Structure 1
Amino acid sequence: MAFLAAYAFRVLAPDLPDALLDLCLAVTLAAWALFAVDYAVRWRLSGQRLGFARTHMLDTVVLALPLLRPLRVVKVYEAVQRRHGRPRLALHARVIAYSGLSTLLLGFTGALAVYQQERDAPGTTMHTFGDAVWWTCATLTTVGYGDVTPVTPMGRLIAVGVMMIGMALLGAVTGTFASWLLQVFSQEDDERPPGS
Protein backbone atom coordinates (compact mmCIF):
# COMPACT_ATOMS: atom_id res chain seq x y z
CA MET A 1 0.00 0.00 0.00
CA ALA A 2 2.94 2.33 0.71
CA PHE A 3 4.24 1.68 -2.82
CA LEU A 4 0.87 2.47 -4.36
CA ALA A 5 0.30 5.58 -2.21
CA ALA A 6 3.77 6.99 -2.94
CA TYR A 7 3.38 6.31 -6.65
CA ALA A 8 -0.08 7.93 -6.67
CA PHE A 9 1.25 11.07 -4.97
CA ARG A 10 4.06 11.36 -7.53
CA VAL A 11 1.62 11.05 -10.43
CA LEU A 12 -1.35 13.03 -9.11
CA ALA A 13 0.49 15.82 -7.27
CA PRO A 14 3.52 16.72 -9.41
CA ASP A 15 3.44 20.27 -7.98
CA LEU A 16 4.41 19.11 -4.49
CA PRO A 17 7.71 20.46 -3.17
CA ASP A 18 10.72 18.59 -4.53
CA ALA A 19 11.54 17.22 -1.07
CA LEU A 20 8.13 15.50 -0.84
CA LEU A 21 8.38 14.16 -4.39
CA ASP A 22 11.84 12.79 -3.57
CA LEU A 23 10.43 11.18 -0.42
CA CYS A 24 7.68 9.53 -2.47
CA LEU A 25 10.29 8.29 -4.93
CA ALA A 26 12.38 6.92 -2.06
CA VAL A 27 9.35 5.09 -0.61
CA THR A 28 8.54 3.67 -4.05
CA LEU A 29 12.09 2.42 -4.62
CA ALA A 30 12.39 1.08 -1.06
CA ALA A 31 9.13 -0.84 -1.42
CA TRP A 32 10.31 -2.27 -4.74
CA ALA A 33 13.60 -3.30 -3.10
CA LEU A 34 11.61 -5.01 -0.34
CA PHE A 35 9.60 -6.88 -2.99
CA ALA A 36 12.89 -8.13 -4.46
CA VAL A 37 14.31 -9.15 -1.06
CA ASP A 38 11.04 -10.90 -0.12
CA TYR A 39 11.05 -12.78 -3.43
CA ALA A 40 14.74 -13.74 -3.11
CA VAL A 41 14.33 -15.04 0.46
CA ARG A 42 11.24 -17.09 -0.39
CA TRP A 43 12.97 -18.44 -3.50
CA ARG A 44 16.04 -19.43 -1.49
CA LEU A 45 14.02 -21.04 1.32
CA SER A 46 11.83 -22.99 -1.12
CA GLY A 47 14.77 -24.96 -2.54
CA GLN A 48 12.91 -25.14 -5.86
CA ARG A 49 15.39 -23.14 -7.93
CA LEU A 50 13.73 -22.30 -11.27
CA GLY A 51 10.57 -24.18 -10.30
CA PHE A 52 9.80 -21.40 -7.81
CA ALA A 53 9.17 -18.92 -10.64
CA ARG A 54 6.69 -21.32 -12.27
CA THR A 55 4.80 -22.12 -9.07
CA HIS A 56 4.77 -18.48 -7.92
CA MET A 57 3.94 -16.81 -11.23
CA LEU A 58 2.10 -13.85 -9.68
CA ASP A 59 5.07 -13.05 -7.44
CA THR A 60 7.45 -13.28 -10.39
CA VAL A 61 5.34 -10.94 -12.53
CA VAL A 62 4.91 -8.51 -9.62
CA LEU A 63 8.68 -8.32 -9.18
CA ALA A 64 9.04 -7.13 -12.78
CA LEU A 65 5.86 -5.00 -12.77
CA PRO A 66 5.46 -3.65 -9.23
CA LEU A 67 2.28 -1.76 -10.11
CA LEU A 68 0.58 -5.17 -10.00
CA ARG A 69 1.63 -5.59 -6.36
CA PRO A 70 -1.85 -4.73 -5.04
CA LEU A 71 -2.99 -8.10 -6.39
CA ARG A 72 -1.09 -9.65 -3.49
CA VAL A 73 -3.70 -8.10 -1.19
CA VAL A 74 -6.11 -10.77 -2.40
CA LYS A 75 -3.74 -13.55 -1.30
CA VAL A 76 -3.05 -11.83 2.02
CA TYR A 77 -6.78 -11.46 2.69
CA GLU A 78 -7.33 -15.16 2.02
CA ALA A 79 -4.50 -16.13 4.39
CA VAL A 80 -5.84 -13.85 7.14
CA GLN A 81 -9.34 -15.33 6.78
CA ARG A 82 -7.94 -18.86 7.08
CA ARG A 83 -5.76 -17.97 10.06
CA HIS A 84 -8.65 -16.44 12.01
CA GLY A 85 -10.85 -19.45 11.28
CA ARG A 86 -13.53 -17.35 9.64
CA PRO A 87 -15.78 -19.13 7.19
CA ARG A 88 -14.61 -18.59 3.68
CA LEU A 89 -16.99 -17.63 0.94
CA ALA A 90 -18.14 -20.29 -1.49
CA LEU A 91 -15.81 -20.77 -4.44
CA HIS A 92 -18.06 -18.86 -6.86
CA ALA A 93 -18.46 -15.93 -4.46
CA ARG A 94 -14.71 -15.84 -3.80
CA VAL A 95 -13.85 -15.74 -7.50
CA ILE A 96 -16.32 -12.92 -8.11
CA ALA A 97 -15.24 -10.97 -4.99
CA TYR A 98 -11.53 -11.35 -5.72
CA SER A 99 -12.00 -10.51 -9.39
CA GLY A 100 -13.90 -7.39 -8.38
CA LEU A 101 -11.20 -6.35 -5.91
CA SER A 102 -8.48 -7.07 -8.47
CA THR A 103 -10.35 -5.03 -11.08
CA LEU A 104 -10.56 -2.02 -8.75
CA LEU A 105 -6.88 -2.20 -7.80
CA LEU A 106 -5.65 -2.82 -11.33
CA GLY A 107 -7.99 -0.19 -12.74
CA PHE A 108 -6.59 2.40 -10.35
CA THR A 109 -2.96 1.48 -11.02
CA GLY A 110 -3.61 1.29 -14.77
CA ALA A 111 -5.18 4.74 -14.72
CA LEU A 112 -2.20 6.10 -12.77
CA ALA A 113 0.33 4.52 -15.11
CA VAL A 114 -1.33 5.64 -18.34
CA TYR A 115 -1.99 9.14 -16.98
CA GLN A 116 1.67 9.50 -16.03
CA GLN A 117 2.67 8.70 -19.61
CA GLU A 118 -0.07 10.65 -21.39
CA ARG A 119 -0.73 13.86 -19.46
CA ASP A 120 2.01 15.96 -21.10
CA ALA A 121 2.23 14.17 -24.46
CA PRO A 122 1.56 16.17 -27.63
CA GLY A 123 -1.90 15.39 -29.00
CA THR A 124 -3.05 13.72 -25.78
CA THR A 125 -6.72 13.21 -25.03
CA MET A 126 -6.04 12.48 -21.33
CA HIS A 127 -5.88 15.92 -19.82
CA THR A 128 -6.98 14.92 -16.30
CA PHE A 129 -6.79 11.87 -14.07
CA GLY A 130 -10.56 11.62 -14.50
CA ASP A 131 -9.99 11.12 -18.24
CA ALA A 132 -7.54 8.31 -17.42
CA VAL A 133 -10.04 6.66 -15.07
CA TRP A 134 -12.75 6.92 -17.74
CA TRP A 135 -10.42 5.37 -20.31
CA THR A 136 -9.46 2.57 -17.90
CA CYS A 137 -13.09 1.75 -17.10
CA ALA A 138 -14.00 1.66 -20.79
CA THR A 139 -10.98 -0.51 -21.56
CA LEU A 140 -11.37 -2.95 -18.65
CA THR A 141 -15.00 -3.54 -19.55
CA THR A 142 -13.96 -4.06 -23.19
CA VAL A 143 -16.28 -1.24 -24.32
CA GLY A 144 -13.55 1.02 -25.70
CA TYR A 145 -15.45 4.14 -26.80
CA GLY A 146 -12.38 5.66 -28.43
CA ASP A 147 -13.05 9.18 -27.15
CA VAL A 148 -9.93 8.97 -24.95
CA THR A 149 -6.96 6.99 -26.24
CA PRO A 150 -3.27 6.76 -25.40
CA VAL A 151 -0.93 8.34 -27.93
CA THR A 152 2.53 7.51 -26.52
CA PRO A 153 4.24 4.16 -27.14
CA MET A 154 4.45 3.44 -23.39
CA GLY A 155 0.82 4.47 -22.91
CA ARG A 156 -0.21 2.04 -25.65
CA LEU A 157 1.86 -0.73 -24.07
CA ILE A 158 0.06 -0.11 -20.77
CA ALA A 159 -3.21 -0.17 -22.73
CA VAL A 160 -2.41 -3.65 -24.06
CA GLY A 161 -1.86 -4.84 -20.49
CA VAL A 162 -5.12 -3.28 -19.30
CA MET A 163 -6.97 -4.89 -22.22
CA MET A 164 -5.58 -8.34 -21.45
CA ILE A 165 -6.38 -7.98 -17.75
CA GLY A 166 -9.89 -6.77 -18.56
CA MET A 167 -10.57 -9.74 -20.82
CA ALA A 168 -9.18 -12.21 -18.27
CA LEU A 169 -11.17 -10.76 -15.37
CA LEU A 170 -14.35 -10.48 -17.41
CA GLY A 171 -13.93 -14.09 -18.51
CA ALA A 172 -13.34 -15.26 -14.93
CA VAL A 173 -16.42 -13.50 -13.58
CA THR A 174 -18.65 -14.53 -16.49
CA GLY A 175 -17.49 -18.14 -16.39
CA THR A 176 -17.92 -18.35 -12.62
CA PHE A 177 -21.38 -16.83 -12.77
CA ALA A 178 -22.43 -19.22 -15.55
CA SER A 179 -21.04 -22.17 -13.58
CA TRP A 180 -22.94 -21.08 -10.47
CA LEU A 181 -26.19 -20.78 -12.47
CA LEU A 182 -25.70 -24.28 -13.91
CA GLN A 183 -25.09 -25.62 -10.41
CA VAL A 184 -28.26 -23.95 -9.07
CA PHE A 185 -30.40 -25.24 -11.95
CA SER A 186 -28.94 -28.71 -11.57
CA GLN A 187 -29.77 -28.74 -7.85
CA GLU A 188 -33.33 -27.59 -8.59
CA ASP A 189 -33.74 -30.43 -11.12
CA ASP A 190 -32.43 -32.96 -8.59
CA GLU A 191 -34.88 -31.75 -5.90
CA ARG A 192 -38.01 -32.06 -8.08
CA PRO A 193 -40.25 -35.05 -7.43
CA PRO A 194 -40.25 -37.63 -10.23
CA GLY A 195 -42.75 -36.98 -13.03
CA SER A 196 -43.10 -33.22 -12.42
Structure 2
Amino acid sequence: MTDSPLARWERRNGTVLAAASLLFLASYATRVLGHDLPEAVRTLCLVVTLGSWAVFAVDYVVRLRLSGLRWPRFVRTHGLDTLVLLLPLLRPLRIVQTYQRVQEHRDRPRLSLYARVITYSGVSVTLLGFAASIALYQQEHAAPGADIRTYGDSVWFTCTTLSTVGYGDLAPVTALGRLVAVGVMACGLALLGAVTGSFSSWLLQVFAREEERPPGNNSPGAPSRD
Protein backbone atom coordinates (compact mmCIF):
# COMPACT_ATOMS: atom_id res chain seq x y z
CA MET A 1 0.00 0.00 0.00
CA THR A 2 1.35 3.44 -0.90
CA ASP A 3 2.40 5.43 2.18
CA SER A 4 2.99 8.81 0.57
CA PRO A 5 1.65 11.97 2.28
CA LEU A 6 -1.09 12.19 -0.33
CA ALA A 7 -2.17 8.58 0.26
CA ARG A 8 -2.23 9.11 4.03
CA TRP A 9 -4.33 12.26 3.61
CA GLU A 10 -6.82 10.47 1.36
CA ARG A 11 -7.17 7.61 3.87
CA ARG A 12 -7.70 9.94 6.81
CA ASN A 13 -10.18 12.38 5.32
CA GLY A 14 -12.53 9.86 3.71
CA THR A 15 -15.00 9.96 6.60
CA VAL A 16 -14.90 13.76 6.74
CA LEU A 17 -15.65 14.07 3.03
CA ALA A 18 -18.48 11.55 3.25
CA ALA A 19 -20.05 13.49 6.13
CA ALA A 20 -19.60 16.78 4.28
CA SER A 21 -21.24 15.28 1.19
CA LEU A 22 -24.28 14.15 3.15
CA LEU A 23 -24.54 17.53 4.88
CA PHE A 24 -24.30 19.27 1.52
CA LEU A 25 -27.09 17.19 0.00
CA ALA A 26 -29.31 17.45 3.09
CA SER A 27 -28.96 21.22 3.48
CA TYR A 28 -29.37 21.84 -0.24
CA ALA A 29 -32.49 19.67 -0.41
CA THR A 30 -33.99 21.30 2.69
CA ARG A 31 -33.48 24.77 1.26
CA VAL A 32 -34.96 23.88 -2.15
CA LEU A 33 -37.95 21.87 -0.90
CA GLY A 34 -38.66 23.77 2.32
CA HIS A 35 -40.67 26.61 0.81
CA ASP A 36 -42.59 27.19 4.05
CA LEU A 37 -39.63 27.01 6.42
CA PRO A 38 -38.68 30.12 8.41
CA GLU A 39 -36.11 32.29 6.73
CA ALA A 40 -33.67 31.66 9.58
CA VAL A 41 -33.75 27.93 8.87
CA ARG A 42 -33.25 28.49 5.15
CA THR A 43 -30.31 30.77 5.89
CA LEU A 44 -28.80 28.11 8.16
CA CYS A 45 -29.14 25.57 5.35
CA LEU A 46 -27.32 27.94 3.02
CA VAL A 47 -24.51 28.33 5.55
CA VAL A 48 -24.19 24.55 5.91
CA THR A 49 -24.17 24.12 2.14
CA LEU A 50 -21.40 26.69 1.69
CA GLY A 51 -19.46 25.26 4.63
CA SER A 52 -19.60 21.77 3.13
CA TRP A 53 -18.35 23.10 -0.18
CA ALA A 54 -15.51 24.81 1.69
CA VAL A 55 -14.46 21.39 3.03
CA PHE A 56 -14.30 20.08 -0.54
CA ALA A 57 -12.23 23.10 -1.58
CA VAL A 58 -9.76 22.63 1.31
CA ASP A 59 -9.39 18.94 0.45
CA TYR A 60 -8.71 19.83 -3.18
CA VAL A 61 -6.05 22.40 -2.28
CA VAL A 62 -4.33 20.06 0.20
CA ARG A 63 -4.24 17.24 -2.33
CA LEU A 64 -2.83 19.65 -4.91
CA ARG A 65 -0.02 20.62 -2.52
CA LEU A 66 0.74 17.05 -1.45
CA SER A 67 0.78 15.76 -5.03
CA GLY A 68 3.84 17.86 -5.85
CA LEU A 69 2.34 18.79 -9.21
CA ARG A 70 1.81 22.23 -10.65
CA TRP A 71 -1.84 23.15 -10.71
CA PRO A 72 -2.31 22.97 -14.54
CA ARG A 73 -1.04 19.39 -14.60
CA PHE A 74 -2.99 18.48 -11.47
CA VAL A 75 -6.19 19.79 -13.06
CA ARG A 76 -5.51 17.76 -16.21
CA THR A 77 -4.73 14.54 -14.35
CA HIS A 78 -7.53 14.96 -11.78
CA GLY A 79 -10.32 16.13 -14.04
CA LEU A 80 -13.03 14.33 -12.08
CA ASP A 81 -11.92 15.93 -8.80
CA THR A 82 -11.98 19.35 -10.43
CA LEU A 83 -15.45 18.75 -11.87
CA VAL A 84 -16.76 17.59 -8.49
CA LEU A 85 -15.32 20.70 -6.83
CA LEU A 86 -17.11 22.97 -9.30
CA LEU A 87 -20.32 20.93 -9.16
CA PRO A 88 -20.56 19.29 -5.72
CA LEU A 89 -23.83 17.58 -6.64
CA LEU A 90 -21.74 15.28 -8.84
CA ARG A 91 -19.75 13.81 -5.94
CA PRO A 92 -21.35 10.35 -6.49
CA LEU A 93 -19.39 10.24 -9.75
CA ARG A 94 -16.33 9.32 -7.67
CA ILE A 95 -17.48 5.74 -8.38
CA VAL A 96 -15.46 6.05 -11.59
CA GLN A 97 -12.25 6.02 -9.56
CA THR A 98 -13.36 2.84 -7.80
CA TYR A 99 -14.01 1.24 -11.17
CA GLN A 100 -10.51 2.19 -12.31
CA ARG A 101 -9.04 0.43 -9.27
CA VAL A 102 -10.91 -2.71 -10.29
CA GLN A 103 -9.36 -2.58 -13.74
CA GLU A 104 -5.92 -2.42 -12.13
CA HIS A 105 -6.58 -5.78 -10.42
CA ARG A 106 -7.77 -7.71 -13.46
CA ASP A 107 -5.11 -10.39 -13.02
CA ARG A 108 -7.40 -12.39 -10.73
CA PRO A 109 -11.20 -12.58 -10.34
CA ARG A 110 -11.79 -11.16 -6.88
CA LEU A 111 -15.53 -11.32 -6.36
CA SER A 112 -15.45 -9.16 -3.27
CA LEU A 113 -13.87 -6.28 -5.19
CA TYR A 114 -16.31 -6.55 -8.09
CA ALA A 115 -19.22 -6.87 -5.70
CA ARG A 116 -18.11 -3.69 -4.00
CA VAL A 117 -18.10 -1.86 -7.34
CA ILE A 118 -21.67 -2.96 -7.99
CA THR A 119 -22.70 -1.92 -4.47
CA TYR A 120 -20.98 1.45 -4.76
CA SER A 121 -22.61 1.96 -8.15
CA GLY A 122 -26.03 1.37 -6.63
CA VAL A 123 -25.35 3.81 -3.82
CA SER A 124 -23.95 6.35 -6.28
CA VAL A 125 -27.00 6.05 -8.54
CA THR A 126 -29.26 6.68 -5.54
CA LEU A 127 -27.31 9.73 -4.35
CA LEU A 128 -26.85 11.09 -7.86
CA GLY A 129 -30.53 10.61 -8.66
CA PHE A 130 -31.52 12.39 -5.46
CA ALA A 131 -29.19 15.32 -6.17
CA ALA A 132 -30.30 15.58 -9.80
CA SER A 133 -33.98 15.48 -8.90
CA ILE A 134 -33.49 18.34 -6.43
CA ALA A 135 -31.57 20.44 -8.96
CA LEU A 136 -34.12 19.72 -11.69
CA TYR A 137 -37.04 20.64 -9.45
CA GLN A 138 -35.32 23.88 -8.43
CA GLN A 139 -34.99 24.94 -12.07
CA GLU A 140 -38.29 23.67 -13.44
CA HIS A 141 -41.12 23.92 -10.94
CA ALA A 142 -41.75 27.66 -11.43
CA ALA A 143 -40.81 27.93 -15.12
CA PRO A 144 -43.54 29.01 -17.58
CA GLY A 145 -44.92 26.04 -19.52
CA ALA A 146 -42.98 23.51 -17.45
CA ASP A 147 -44.07 19.85 -17.31
CA ILE A 148 -42.16 19.19 -14.08
CA ARG A 149 -44.22 21.03 -11.47
CA THR A 150 -43.80 18.87 -8.36
CA TYR A 151 -40.89 17.10 -6.76
CA GLY A 152 -42.61 13.82 -7.57
CA ASP A 153 -42.48 14.72 -11.26
CA SER A 154 -38.78 15.46 -10.93
CA VAL A 155 -38.09 12.12 -9.24
CA TRP A 156 -40.02 10.26 -11.94
CA PHE A 157 -38.14 12.00 -14.75
CA THR A 158 -34.78 11.37 -13.04
CA CYS A 159 -35.50 7.67 -12.50
CA THR A 160 -36.60 7.04 -16.07
CA THR A 161 -33.61 8.96 -17.41
CA LEU A 162 -31.00 7.32 -15.17
CA SER A 163 -32.33 3.89 -16.08
CA THR A 164 -32.07 4.86 -19.79
CA VAL A 165 -35.80 4.11 -20.25
CA GLY A 166 -36.94 7.65 -21.02
CA TYR A 167 -40.72 7.50 -21.44
CA GLY A 168 -40.84 11.06 -22.77
CA ASP A 169 -43.95 12.00 -20.78
CA LEU A 170 -42.01 14.74 -18.99
CA ALA A 171 -39.28 17.00 -20.27
CA PRO A 172 -37.41 20.04 -18.89
CA VAL A 173 -37.99 23.38 -20.57
CA THR A 174 -35.30 25.58 -18.99
CA ALA A 175 -31.70 25.69 -20.18
CA LEU A 176 -30.27 24.62 -16.82
CA GLY A 177 -32.92 21.93 -16.45
CA ARG A 178 -31.97 20.46 -19.80
CA LEU A 179 -28.30 20.64 -18.84
CA VAL A 180 -29.10 18.63 -15.68
CA ALA A 181 -31.01 16.13 -17.81
CA VAL A 182 -28.05 15.68 -20.15
CA GLY A 183 -25.80 15.06 -17.15
CA VAL A 184 -28.24 12.48 -15.79
CA MET A 185 -28.28 10.69 -19.16
CA ALA A 186 -24.49 10.55 -19.31
CA CYS A 187 -24.18 9.38 -15.71
CA GLY A 188 -26.82 6.71 -16.20
CA LEU A 189 -24.93 5.26 -19.15
CA ALA A 190 -21.57 5.48 -17.36
CA LEU A 191 -22.76 3.84 -14.14
CA LEU A 192 -24.64 1.14 -16.01
CA GLY A 193 -21.50 0.43 -18.00
CA ALA A 194 -19.42 0.22 -14.82
CA VAL A 195 -21.73 -2.41 -13.32
CA THR A 196 -22.17 -4.55 -16.42
CA GLY A 197 -18.50 -4.19 -17.38
CA SER A 198 -17.26 -5.26 -13.95
CA PHE A 199 -19.59 -8.24 -13.73
CA SER A 200 -18.84 -9.36 -17.28
CA SER A 201 -15.10 -9.03 -16.73
CA TRP A 202 -15.29 -11.12 -13.57
CA LEU A 203 -17.30 -13.85 -15.34
CA LEU A 204 -14.84 -13.99 -18.25
CA GLN A 205 -11.93 -14.39 -15.87
CA VAL A 206 -13.66 -17.14 -13.94
CA PHE A 207 -14.45 -19.05 -17.14
CA ALA A 208 -10.87 -18.59 -18.34
CA ARG A 209 -9.52 -20.05 -15.11
CA GLU A 210 -11.88 -23.00 -15.42
CA GLU A 211 -10.65 -23.72 -18.96
CA GLU A 212 -7.02 -23.53 -17.88
CA ARG A 213 -7.53 -25.93 -14.98
CA PRO A 214 -6.14 -29.45 -15.68
CA PRO A 215 -8.84 -32.00 -16.60
CA GLY A 216 -8.05 -34.18 -13.56
CA ASN A 217 -9.05 -31.37 -11.22
CA ASN A 218 -12.58 -31.37 -12.62
CA SER A 219 -13.25 -35.01 -11.73
CA PRO A 220 -15.63 -35.77 -8.83
CA GLY A 221 -12.88 -37.32 -6.72
CA ALA A 222 -10.27 -34.64 -7.33
CA PRO A 223 -9.25 -32.65 -4.27
CA SER A 224 -10.29 -29.02 -4.15
CA ARG A 225 -7.70 -26.37 -4.91
CA ASP A 226 -9.37 -23.77 -2.66
Normalised by the length of structure 2, the TM-score is 0.73
Identity %: 65
Query: Deviation at 1:72?
Result: 5.4
* CA distances 1:77-106 after superposition (whole Å, capped 9, x unpaired): xxxxxxxxxxx9633212212211111111
Corresponding position of 2:64: 43
Aligned twin of 1:177 = 199
Local SS of the residue matching 1:184:
helix
Which has the larger displacement, 53-62 or 115-124?
A: 53-62
Alignment correspondent of 1:119: 141
Using the alignment, how far apart are the partners of 2:95 and 2:112 within structure 1? 19
1:29-178 pair list within 5 angstroms: 29-49=50-70, 50-71=72-93, 90-178=112-200
The reply to whether residue 24 of structure 1 matches residue 45 of structure 2 is yes
Q: For residues 104 and 135 of structure 1, what CA distance do their matches in structure 2 show?
A: 14
How well do the aligned residues superpose, as a CA RMSD in angstroms? Answer: 2.5
Q: Give yes or no for contact 2:95–2:120 (8 Å, CA) kept in 1.
A: no
Q: Is the 8 A contact 1:140 1:165 kept in 2?
A: yes
In structure 1, list runs of 5 or more residues that go unmatched. Answer: 77-87
Measured after TM superposition, the shift of residue 75 of structure 1 is 7.8
Alignment-mate amino acid for residue 158 of structure 1: V
Q: Could you tell me which residue of structure 2 aligns to residue 85 of structure 1?
A: none
Query: Offset at 1:70?
Result: 4.5
Cα offsets for 1:101-142 (capped at 9, x unmatched)? 111111110111111111111122222212111111110111
Pairs aligned (count): 184
Q: How far apart are residue 166 of structure 1 and its match?
A: 0.7
Do structure 1's residue 187 and structure 2's residue 209 form an aligned pair?
yes
- CA deviations on 1:35-87 (whole Å, 9 max, x unpaired) are 222212221232211232233333211111011235559989xxxxxxxxxxx
Query: Which amino acid counterpart does residue 166 of structure 1 have in structure 2?
Result: G
Cα distance in 1 for residues equivalent to 2:191 and 2:94 = 16
TM-score, scaled to structure 1 = 0.83
